[in-house]
Amino acid sequence: MKYQNYLIQRYLSKRWAPWAATLAVTLGVFSLLTVLAVMEGFKIEMRDRIRGTLSHLVVEADPFRGLVGEDLLLEAIQGVEGVAAAAPNVTTLALYKVGVMDHCVLRGVDPIAESQVSDLARFLLSDSEINMMLRDRYMLLPPEREPMALEQVEQLFSLKRRREVMRWRLEEDPGSGFSVESPPQAIIVGIEALRSFRLQMGDVVQISSYSPVTLEPCSGNFLVVGAFQSGVYEQDLRWAFTDIRALQNTLELWDEDAEDMRLSGISVKLDDYASADQIKVDVRREIERRMLLDESDPESIPMRSPSYETWEDKRAHLIQAVEIEKRIISVLMLLIVAFAAGMIFLILMLLVIEKQRDLGVLRALGATRGGVVSLVLRQGMFLCTLGAVLGLLGGWIFLENINAFHDWVYDMTGLRLFPPDVYYLERIPAILRWEDVLLVCLPTLIFGFLGSILPAIRAGRQDPIKALHHE
């Protein structure tokens, strides 16, 4: 009926309090949306980084028994439908010493094979890039940079490269006791290990670990010949790569029973990651089948019990941490919306009490109970919806310009709200998803409805005679 919109218009045009409720809804929706979008952007950004140098699928051995039968394993895995490539690795926790002592996760890889299963080639840095990064501690590899070519990767681990680095090093520091002719094995460290000055290019580091075979300490010398940047601080500080054969020898991984060198695991790249869970099962089935074959069978693989995980399985806790963070913050921000709905409730309640007589008159002139209920309900929903729309619009405009805004704040105050060194994020990532918009709007409208329905029902319940009785 016409009176409802007409009266709402009149009531609202003569009062400011209802607009305060709208403003509260606007702010609530605005902040909720902003937080969700930034958290989502952050999550996506982190997901890429968290994956780091992991391949799609990882077959990982029990550290004390390892895996043996490298060629057979690779052959078995590559035979599974959907597998694009597979590469062996040896991974160990190690201490290293260069003046100070520190620890790292040292991974022995076949440089060419590894480049085909993981993003290693994408993260490896050229000498000029290393120099630039050492000068600018916030510098990040641009995402569009081409991965390093396979020949270059091979080069990096080659004897020629080691000799070159060694020669260059000896020029600066002749008394190190190593010769250019037989340099130590190559090691490639994360850029943060160089930046933190624990390590330098050309350093010879002594690496100590335990051999899982002999259970005795073992050690070897490695020459820092290169660096990588994965974009995750922890990895770039702690991870190091070397040649798989060199590490197998250093760790004395000769397995007497199988008469073969042990592996720590096999990295697998898939044609399509979307079917990873199925392929994981297929790979497992194939390897287990071969392990159960009679030893005399040429396909037989010595019995071990590795685990089979996708990279997301392996990083589940980290991915979940960001997801849970996002959820917790959304729930907290939802309180702002709830508060706004509470304001709508109070304002409508006051209005219903103030306008008791008007409502009685309307009823006496023929308005139905439902009509009066809807008069109040509509008003509440109007305030709430308007607030939500303004908040959405504001949030959207803000998110579109969030980095310009951030720069502006930086220019005005010198304050970095979002310091780039923590996560290497130069820009604030913000991704506004439809799901999140819905996740904001739906509860807002529901809260708004809950805040409006009680005053509306009270207005409907009111006895018109009583309302008209008192002056």
Partner 1 sequence: MNELSAALPVISARKLVKSFPMANGAELKVLRELEMQIHESEMVAIVGMSGVGKSTLLHCLGLLDSPTSGEITYRDDSRTWRSSDLSEEDRCRLRNHFIGFVFQFFHLLPDLDVLENVLLPTFISQETGEWNKKRSQFEARGESLLERVGLKGRERQAPGTLSGGERQRVAIARALMLSPKLLLCDEPTGNLDSRTSESIHQLLRELHQDLSTSILVVTHDPDLASRADRRLQMIDGRFRSESDNQQVTDSS
Q: Tell me how many residues contact partner 1 (CB under 8 A).
A: 26
What is d(CA 226, CA 223) in angstroms, rounded to the nearest whole number? 9
Binding of partner 1 by 3 (CB under 8 A): yes
Measured CA to CA in angstroms, residue 317 lies from 59, 313, 460 at distances of 19, 8, 52
Q: Which of residues 232-261 bind partner 1 (CB under 8 A)?
A: none
CB of 384 to partner 1, least distance (A): 21
Contacting partner 1 (CB under 8 A), which of 335, 364, 397, 446? 364
What is d(CA 287, CA 73) in angstroms, rounded to the nearest whole number? 7
What is d(CA 236, CA 228) in angstroms, rounded to the nearest whole number? 7
Binding of partner 1 by 1 (CB under 8 A): yes
Q: Which of residues 397-436 bind partner 1 (CB under 8 A)?
A: none
Binding of partner 1 by 366 (CB under 8 A): yes
Contacting partner 1 (CB under 8 A), which of 110, 192, 358, 436? 358
Contacting partner 1 (CB under 8 A), which of 27, 367, 384, 399? 367
Choose the binding region for partner 1 from 141-149, 184-192, 397-405, 463-471 (rule: CB under 8 A): 463-471
Contacting partner 1 (CB under 8 A), which of 314, 369, 378, 406? 369
Choose the binding region for partner 1 from 188-196, 244-252, 365-373, 446-454 (rule: CB under 8 A): 365-373
Q: Based on CB atoms, which residue is closest to partner 1, 10 or 97?
A: 10
Q: Based on CB atoms, which residue is closest to partner 1, 120 or 467?
A: 467
CB of 25 to partner 1, least distance (A): 24
Binding of partner 1 by 350 (CB under 8 A): no
List the one residue out of 187, 18, 216 whose CA is nearest residue 109: 187
Binding of partner 1 by 16 (CB under 8 A): no
Q: Based on CB atoms, which residue is closest to partner 1, 53 or 379?
A: 379
Q: Based on CB atoms, which residue is closest to partner 1, 190 or 460?
A: 460
CB of 19 to partner 1, least distance (A): 16
CB of 383 to partner 1, least distance (A): 17
Beta carbons of 237 and 197 less than 8 angstroms apart: no
Binding of partner 1 by 351 (CB under 8 A): no
Contacting partner 1 (CB under 8 A), which of 363, 380, 386, 456? 363
Choose the binding region for partner 1 from 50-58, 86-94, 335-343, 360-368 (rule: CB under 8 A): 360-368
How many other C-beta atoms lie within 10 A of the C-beta of residue 63?
Answer: 13
Joined together, the tokens standing for residue 457 give 């029902």
Binding of partner 1 by 464 (CB under 8 A): yes
User: Quick one: 215 exposed, middle or buried, by C-beta within 10 A (0-12, 13-18, 19+)?
Assistant: exposed
Choose the binding region for partner 1 from 276-284, 317-325, 434-442, 461-469 (rule: CB under 8 A): 461-469
Binding of partner 1 by 353 (CB under 8 A): no
Choose the binding region for partner 1 from 2-10, 45-53, 210-218, 242-250 (rule: CB under 8 A): 2-10
Binding of partner 1 by 360 (CB under 8 A): yes
- Residues contacting 51, CB < 8 A, separation 6+: 119, 311, 315
List the one residue out of 3, 182, 185, 213 whose CA is nearest residue 96: 185
Choose the binding region for partner 1 from 6-14, 85-93, 319-327, 438-446 (rule: CB under 8 A): 6-14
Q: What is the x/- site pattern for partner 1, positions 104-143, by CB under 8 A?
A: ----------------------------------------
Binding of partner 1 by 14 (CB under 8 A): yes
Choose the binding region for partner 1 from 31-39, 110-118, 354-362, 397-405 (rule: CB under 8 A): 354-362
Strand partners, 60: 265, 307
Binding of partner 1 by 461 (CB under 8 A): no
The CA R_g of the chain, rounded to the nearest whole Å, is 33
Binding of partner 1 by 2 (CB under 8 A): yes
Binding of partner 1 by 471 (CB under 8 A): yes
Interacting residues toward partner 1 by CB under 8 A:
1-3, 5-7, 10-11, 14, 357-358, 360-369, 371, 464-465, 468, 471
